[in-house]
Homo-oligomer: A and B are copies of this chain.
Amino acid sequence: MKQATKSRKSVEYYVDGILQGNRVVLAQAITLVESSLPSDQDLASRVLEKTIQKSGNSIRIGITGSPGVGKSTFIEAFGKFLTRLGKKVAVLTVDPTSQKTKGSILGDKTRMPQLATNPDAFIRPSSAGETLGGVANNTREAILLTEAAGFEIIIIETVGVGQSEVAVRNMTDFFLLLMLPGSGDELQGIKKGIMEMADLLVITKADGENLPRAKRSQAEFQQAVHTLYDRAGGWIPKVLTASALLSTGLEDIHDSISKFISTKKQSGDFATNRSLQDIAHMHDNFQQRLKDEISNSSFLRGKFTEIEALVKTHALTPGEAGKKLLGYFQQYIQAKAPENTRP
């Protein structure tokens, strides 16, 4: 999404503001990262380059759960718990379905009213972008800037649409799945494969009348985790309960995360995982740029459509079609060659 270039500042303005932990400047810099204007992208690159040595010093926690599970309420309660421990906490959201407007920015902030006004917290609404790849890329760069601004715990919330959980899993150190109290049969909403990505399962709304149901679910899910998932020699995810209303269960959740992180730091897995994520991010970014080359070219878009139609009618094998696509792609890149690179 293109953004107006109104009042862009110098690289130093953004770098100094971020390193001083200024939340307004941080928000402005993230807007640069999300902009698709080439001038903004250049500026964003230079800001990232000058702050990257200060980034990386945080715990990155991914949080997901079906709609209605109480994600905002939980994150607000957990965020407040963390700031009371003296931590600086940021909340970013990956939502490939959101069209960023003034409205949704306000919407996001009012979802967590107490955290939004907390001086030790930073809440950033849904990251803009037209594809999940674009959104994920923007969020990864927003994480780096947020860390450079001194935030120590970065919560990445996913709305749980499409492959967004996988994207968030691949940019975080710890992945937490929120679930509603209820028996197995009712839990049809949990997407395939999400449970097994989790490092911790938390049953929300464990208060009042719900409490017995939450405790029953906890036992059932703990059983399911042990029975079905192979974590040979590895971390067995706990199943905990929490109430955002009563602020209960938050300490156990924090303990489970801390234990996971310190175990992984000791074994060296923490650093290895971060490094692998960076390399994967680089490859994803490269792939995204290749895709952009194709989708920005009407010549290539036309050829792809033409070839797809031939495959659908069995006039061309998929293998032959792939070969033709590569040919057209090379032809396009070669035609783009600047004069001065030619003999």
Interface set of A (CB-CB < 8 Å, partner B): 45, 48-49, 52-53, 55-56, 137, 140-141, 144, 184-185, 187-193, 195-196, 224, 226-230, 232, 275, 278-279, 281-286, 288-290, 293, 307-308, 311-312, 314, 316-323, 325-326, 329-331, 333-337, 341-343
Residue from the list B224, B230, B342 in contact with A191, Cβ < 8 A: B230
Residue from the list B282, B318, B330 in contact with A282, Cβ < 8 A: B318
How many protomers of this protein does the assembly include? Answer: 2
Q: Could you tell me the distance between the alpha carbons of A307 and B278 in the complex, rounded to whole angstroms?
A: 12
Given contacts A290-B290, A325-B286, A333-B330, contact A281 B188 (CB under 8 A): no
Q: Could you tell me the distance between the alpha carbons of A308 and B189 in the complex, rounded to whole angstroms?
A: 39
Q: Could you tell me the distance between the alpha carbons of A320 and B52 in the complex, rounded to whole angstroms?
A: 11
Measured between beta carbons, the chain B residues less than 8 angstroms from A319 are 45, 48, 137, 140-141, 281-282, 285
Residue from the list B48, B195, B232, B275 in contact with A312, Cβ < 8 A: B275
Q: Could you tell me the distance between the alpha carbons of A76 and B41 in the complex, rounded to whole angstroms?
A: 59
How near does chain B come to A37, taking the closest CB pair, in angstroms?
15
User: Interface SS of chain A: helix, strand, loop or mixed?
Assistant: helix
Given contacts A318-B285, A337-B337, contact A228 B232 (CB under 8 A): no
Residue from the list B55, B286, B322 in contact with A285, Cβ < 8 A: B322
Among residues of B, the one whose C-beta sits closest to the C-beta of A226 is: B185
B341 touches A331 (CB 8 A): yes
B323 touches A289 (CB 8 A): yes
Among residues of B, the one whose C-beta sits closest to the C-beta of A232 is: B188
Among residues of B, the one whose C-beta sits closest to the C-beta of A342 is: B342
A321 touches B282 (CB 8 A): yes
B196 touches A192 (CB 8 A): yes
Residue from the list B189, B227, B343 in contact with A184, Cβ < 8 A: B227
Measured between beta carbons, the chain B residues less than 8 angstroms from A329 are 286, 290
Measured between beta carbons, the chain B residues less than 8 angstroms from A321 are 282, 285-286
- The residue in A48, A55, A329, A333 that gathers the most chain B C-beta atoms within 10 A of its C-beta is A333
